[in-house]
Structure 1
Amino acid sequence: TGGSFSSDLNGMAVKHACQQIRQRLDTVITDNNVNISWNDLVKQAYFVRIDLCALRFYMTPNMFDADFTENQANYNYFTQGATVT
C-alpha cells in the first residue's frame, strides 16, 4: 500500500483476529495431542463446531486527542479492508 497506510491498521486487525481464532483452537489442543497437525486441528475444530471466523478492527491509539473544531486530527487517513475465503 502507498506509505503502508493500510498495513499498520489492517495488520493489527488481522493480528487480533488471528489471536481470537487461536484462542478458540487452543480449546481443541489437549495434553494428548499437542503435536497435532494443522489439518487435523482444523478438522477437529470443525467437527466440534468451533467458529473459525473472526471479525476485528483496529483504531489508531490516542485518536480522540484530535481537535475537530480546528479540523486537525492525529491521523491523516481512513482505510478499510475485507477478506473472504
Structure 2
Amino acid sequence: MSIDQARIEKLALRRAKAKLGWFAHAAVYALVNLGLVALSLASGRSWAIYPLLGWGVGLLAHGLSVWMLPPGGALLGRMVERERARLAADAKGDPW
C-alpha cells in the first residue's frame, strides 16, 4: 500500500466513523424526543418543544461539522501536526 493509499484509507475510515457517529446521535435524538413528546402530551402541556429545539440545534451543528467540514480536513491536519511536534519535542516523555 503506497503512502497516498494509506492516507486515503485512514481518512476514509475517519470520515465513515464521523458519519456513523452522526447517525447514532440522530437516532438517540429521535428516540428520546419521541418519549418526551409522549410525556408532554400525556401531561397535557407542550413543554417538549424546548428540548426538541435545543437538542435539534446541537444535532444540526454536529451534522454540519460532519457533512460540510469533513474530518481530516486542513484544519484538523494542521492541529494534529502541531500536537505531534509538541509531543516529539517533549524530552520528558508523557506530558500528562
TM superposition score normalised by structure 2: 0.33
TM superposition score normalised by structure 1: 0.36
Q: Which of the two has higher C-alpha Rg?
A: 2
Report the structure, 1 or 2, having the larger helix content: 2
